[in-house]
Amino acid sequence: MWLRDLGVYSYVNVSDVEGIHVAAALDPEVKSKRIYAIAKHVTWNNHLAIMRKIFQEKKFLDDLKDLGILSGRVEDEDLGLKLLKKWGPLDDWVPLEVGI
């Protein structure tokens, strides 16, 4: 099944990406820096759980097994969130539930 092949991946909402772009353009401390936008590491099981909650009358796939874990971090992974907090109206990433 192709969903299993995706394994674990990084999620971020498009509005957070937009906010980071604007903040990076405005912030004088951000110059020639790579900014990562990683709200959460997720699998399709996260999506399935949200869909089951929203559409309780529907039947979805059972959770997929052995999707793995993603335990690594990238250098200065928190810079994107720091910029959102400094320049934007939110204190955290937009959750996956809102994106769905």
In this structure, the strands spanning 9-11 and 40-42 are antiparallel
CA distance 22 to 27: 9
Write the pLDDT tens digit of every residue in 34-56.
999 999 889 989 999 999 999 99
Q: How far is CA 21 from CA 24, 58, 74, 80, in A?
A: 5, 38, 19, 9
> What sign does the CA torsion over 40, 46, 49, 51 have?
positive
Range of the domain at 86: 2-99
Low-confidence ranges of the chain (pLDDT < 70): 1-5
Q: Which amino acid, residue 97?
A: E
The distance from CA 61 to its chain's CA centroid, rounded to whole angstroms, is 22
Per-residue pLDDT at 10? 87
Per-residue pLDDT at 79? 93
Give the count of domains, the chain.
1
* pTM of the shown model: 0.80
Per-residue pLDDT at 1? 57
